[in-house]
């Protein structure tokens, strides 16, 4: 990992922003406006409406009529979010490409900042930043000192494997279009975690950058999001992350080494896979601790979570977390332990959030 001072953007690159939309016509004008209002870059917006039953298509066509930088593709029948993403990305003509859900927003200058990093570092194939979460009105831009982080792809993959889950929300990510074309689009076999798979594939062939400091996008949390995590949702995240990790490492192991792009050595692939499996198992035991705290209402149960941990990484049975989980399963919680677990859970997420907010991993 290397930190860099930002450099001004001295070129005027082209950026394609794909805006998938399904029943979000009322959000669409704000999303499109946030993408078009980006200084220093030439932006095209591609709205893909997935046969919305509301007026989304009409809103999209009105936006295109008002600004020639907007193009519209309307599906005659609903094809699902992965197909919608890929249909839009296939139309991208820019040197860089971003996917912005119709209910999210880009912050002023976010594309400029991300493109500046990638123009200064041509070896970077994926850049992301911090997404601000909001409900009704997007937060006002807060002053923040900007700096850049650039990781070797392998180092960034190691951090993702150590977390055992996705660390990029989505609207804050920008990819070099040549990298996207090389790795392909979103995989329909992973509808829940296809974005995580895409980022990892990019990191396998290019460096990864991050714009630190100012928010790069605004993620709207309105309760109806496709990915709205509750306790059971966290377990779904783990299961789907495991599927993505396993397929990703199988792909890496099967790829022959290329002189111009040697990729990861087999020993490193093995080590990263082991790191990911260990992280998934430990995360499952952490969820098991919360399941004990919730009691009989917990779904999944501590037993299900412990079984998942073992299938991910059998050596987990020798860890202290496993022993504590087994004790709780046999004897229940000690007096006051439920309150301690709640406090530990809150502290853990605060620490994680602060680290992710500042450093992106």
What's the pLDDT tens digit per position in 268-306? 999 999 999 999 999 999 999 989 998 877 889 999 999
21 and 144 share one domain: yes
CATH of the domain at 73: 3.90.550.10
Number of Cβ within 10 Å of residue 256's Cβ equals: 5
Residue 87 has what pLDDT?
98
Q: pLDDT per residue over 105-129, tens digit each?
A: 999 999 999 999 999 999 999 999 9
Strand partners, 20: 48
Pair (151, 293) in one structural domain: no
In contact, 52 and 19? CB cutoff 8 Å: no
Whether residue 63 contacts residue 86, with contact meaning beta carbons closer than 8 Å, is answered with: no
Query: Containing H/E element for 352?
Result: helix 337-359
Please measure the distance between the N-terminal and C-terminal CA atoms of the chain and give it in whole angstroms.
12
Tokens 């098991």 map to which residue? Answer: 288
Nearest 5°: the CA angle 125, 239, 1 is: 30
Q: How far apart are CA 360 and CA 129, in angstroms?
A: 7
User: 3-state class of 48 per DSSP?
Assistant: strand
Q: Is 66 exposed, middle or buried (0-12, 13-18, 19+ CB in 10 A)?
A: exposed
Report d(CA 100, CA 115) in Å as an integer: 16
Domain shared by 45 and 155, yes or no:
yes
- List, for residues 153-194, the tens digit of each pLDDT value: 999 999 999 999 999 989 999 999 999 999 999 999 999 999
Contact 319, 282 (CB under 8 A): yes
Q: Is the CB of residue 128 less than 8 Å from the CB of residue 216?
A: yes
Its domain, for residue 339, covers 231-359
Residue 332 pLDDT greater than 70, yes or no: yes
Among the listed residues 120, 145, 88, the one whose alpha carbon sits nearest the alpha carbon of residue 11: 120
Among 220, 243, 260, residue at a domain's last position: 220
Place of tokens 């400029």: 112
d(CA 356, CA 129): 10
Same domain for 346 and 256: yes
Helices (H) and strands (E) in the chain, counts: 12, 10
Is the domain of 210 the same as that of 334? Answer: no
pLDDT in tens, 26-82: 999 999 999 999 999 999 999 999 999 999 999 999 999 999 999 999 999 999 999
Do 197 and 292 lie in one domain? The reply is no
Report the domain count for the chain.
2
Token pair of 248, please?
């990703």
What tokens appear for 343 in the block?
Answer: 């406090």
Measured between alpha carbons, how far is 315 from 327 in angstroms, rounded to an integer?
Answer: 18
Residue 40 lies in a domain: yes
Structural domain includes residue 225: no
Residue 263 has pLDDT above 70, yes or no: no
Please name the residues in contact with 354: beta carbons below 8 A apart, sequence gap of 6 or more.
none
- The answer to whether the Cα torsion of 74, 77, 78, 81 is positive or negative is negative
List the one residue out of 100, 127, 115, 91 whose CA is nearest residue 41. Answer: 115
Token reading at 207: 């460096």
**Cα 292 to Cα 154: distance, rounded to the nearest angstrom:** 36
Helix (H) / strand (E) containing 252: helix 231-254
Domain boundary (185, 220, 255) is at 220
Residue 226 in any domain: the answer is no
Shared domain for 253 and 177, answered yes or no, is: no
More confident residue, 211 or 221: 211
In whole numbers, what is the pLDDT of the chain averaged over residues? 92
pTM: 0.92
Q: Is 199 in the same domain as 256? A: no
Regarding whether 149 and 32 lie in a shared domain, the answer is yes
């Amino acid at each position: 990992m290397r930190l860099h001072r930002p450099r001004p953007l001295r070129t005027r690159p082209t950026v394609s922003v794909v805006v998938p939309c399904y029943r979000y016509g009322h959000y669409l004008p704000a999303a499109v406006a946030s993408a078009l209002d980006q200084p220093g870059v030439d932006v095209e917006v591609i709205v893909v409406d997935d046969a919305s039953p509301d007026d989304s298509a009409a809103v999209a066509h009105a936006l295109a009529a008002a600004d020639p930088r907007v193009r519209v593709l309307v599906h005659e029948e609903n094809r699902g979010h992965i197909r919608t993403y890929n249909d839009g990305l296939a139309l991208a003509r820019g040197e860089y490409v971003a996917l912005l859900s119709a209910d999210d927003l880009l912050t002023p200058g976010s594309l400029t900042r991300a493109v500046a990093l990638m123009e200064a570092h041509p070896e970077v194939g994926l850049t992301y930043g911090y997404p601000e979460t909001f409900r009704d009105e997007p937060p006002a831009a807060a002053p923040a000192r900007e700096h850049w982080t650039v990781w070797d792809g392998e180092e960034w993959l190691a951090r993702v494997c150590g977390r055992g889950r996705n660390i990029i929300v989505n609207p804050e990510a920008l990819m070099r279009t040549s990298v996207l074309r090389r790795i392909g689009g979103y995989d329909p076999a992973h509808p829940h975690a296809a974005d995580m798979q895409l980022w990892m594939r990019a990191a396998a062939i290019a460096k990864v950058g991050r714009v630190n400091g100012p928010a790069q996008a605004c993620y709207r949390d309105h309760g109806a999001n496709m990915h709205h995590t509750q306790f059971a949702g966290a377990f779904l995240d783990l299961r789907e992350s495991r599927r993505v990790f396993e397929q990703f490492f199988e792909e890496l192991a099967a790829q022959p080494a290329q002189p111009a792009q040697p990729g990861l050595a087999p020993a490193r692939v093995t080590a990263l896979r082991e790191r990911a499996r260990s992280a998934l198992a430990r995360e499952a035991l952490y969820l098991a601790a919360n399941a004990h705290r919730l009691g009989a209402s917990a779904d999944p149960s501590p037993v299900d979570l412990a079984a998942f941990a073992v299938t991910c990484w059998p050596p987990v049975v020798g860890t202290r977390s496993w022993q504590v989980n087994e004790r709780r399963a046999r004897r229940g919680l000690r007096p006051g332990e439920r309150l301690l677990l709640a406090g530990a859970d809150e502290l853990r997420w605060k620490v994680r959030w602060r680290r992710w907010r500042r450093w992106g991993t």
